[in-house]
Chain A
């Protein structure tokens, strides 16, 4: 049988409960103050990320390698100027003719991207008559469905936004660089200014205002196709793109489920 509750125990218990109740509002207030100091929160206005699904696609046959997209991205997103930091870039593929008697269908594959293609491309060192074919491939974040960069982030600073963009929270990122190692497409870099991981955000500040990403805005040949899968417009460019082209993705065998699709892509493109 339990011993009866003593007066001391009862008073102690009641006092504890009173203290706990009184501490509640104080704790709430303190929590709010701490949060205000640590993180500034901005409530989203008028843009519901669950009602959009953004996607960018490329038509390789239309890209002329002018580099306006790379230049626009650097300007729009204040990407560090150095020639090693890019959120998007263009690669020039040059496939040589096979050597006579080699029994091969195609020769050596050369890929270059001087300054990411930002200043255009200098004339190739391969003489024209030795080139079997040549083309440009614009690249950016592949918007993977199973993003390796998100899986490896130890602090939850990079994430798949509900609207299809893969974003980095610069206030949360600790700059460990795991995601940069994890991205099989090389789409990320560690910013020398902020020391956090940076990547293509699909110009998140533009698409949430109803504008197109800067690279899409300046592309003179409509090689970049951008649209909202959840709200197709009349003659939707994305729907037309998938209807008219044979499309493929980069490195499909890795299981990352890249959503960015390429039309007219050669097998040599990696």
Chain B
């Protein structure tokens, strides 16, 4: 009975294939990020990295912590559903340190929403700035209570 002997050239080929395949797995073990495949075919830690970025806008709740009296006035009038930061600009830096001022309120902000534009819904109050009044909005309107005039 003759023993089966693998031809040496085949044996070398098989060994080489095994080395290549196993080196792939060894490399993969080293290079694959820890959290890869945690939730799916991606790096799970990417979620936490995204979440770790710093916000710039504080959110209306943060404003309400100090400016209660302003919000009480605003809550009774037309602009009640507008967030503080819509007009006053991003305020997280200000919320963390009151010495840092928010961007000054500019009157061009009024016309952003109230300039006449055919694409705007009919319920939106719109003016043609030149027909309405040539002066400044704040001479006649209080932004937190737009139907009232300043004293």
Contacts and interface: CB of A to CB of B under 8 A. Distances in A.
A214 B118 contact: no
A107 interface: no
B46 to A, nearest CB: 4
A97 B81 CA distance: 35
B68 interface: no
Interface stretch (A184-192, A217-225, A241-249, A253-261): A217-225
A167 B33 contact: no
Given A38-B33, A65-B119, A217 B57 contact: yes
Contacts of A217: 57, 59-60, 83, 85-86
Interface residues of A, number: 65
Interface stretch (B8-16, B35-43, B131-139): B35-43
B48 A43 contact: yes
Interface stretch (B17-25, B69-77, B109-117): B109-117
A47 B85 CA distance: 26
B131 to A, nearest CB: 14
B119 A134 contact: yes
Contacts of B115: 120
A262 interface: no
30 contacts: A34-B31, A39-B33, A41-B34, A41-B35, A42-B48, A64-B120, A92-B119, A93-B119, A120-B112, A123-B117, A124-B117, A131-B118, A135-B121, A156-B42, A158-B42, A159-B41, A159-B42, A160-B40, A162-B40, A171-B43, A171-B49, A204-B50, A205-B51, A211-B57, A214-B56, A214-B57, A217-B83, A218-B83, A220-B82, A220-B83
The 7 residue pairs across chains A and B that have the minimum distance between CB atoms = A169-B46, A159-B42, A205-B53, A134-B119, A208-B51, A42-B48, A44-B48
Interface of A: 27, 30-31, 34-35, 38-45, 47, 49, 61-68, 72, 75-76, 92-94, 120-121, 123-124, 128, 131, 134-136, 156-162, 167, 169, 171-172, 201, 203-206, 208-209, 211-212, 214, 217-222
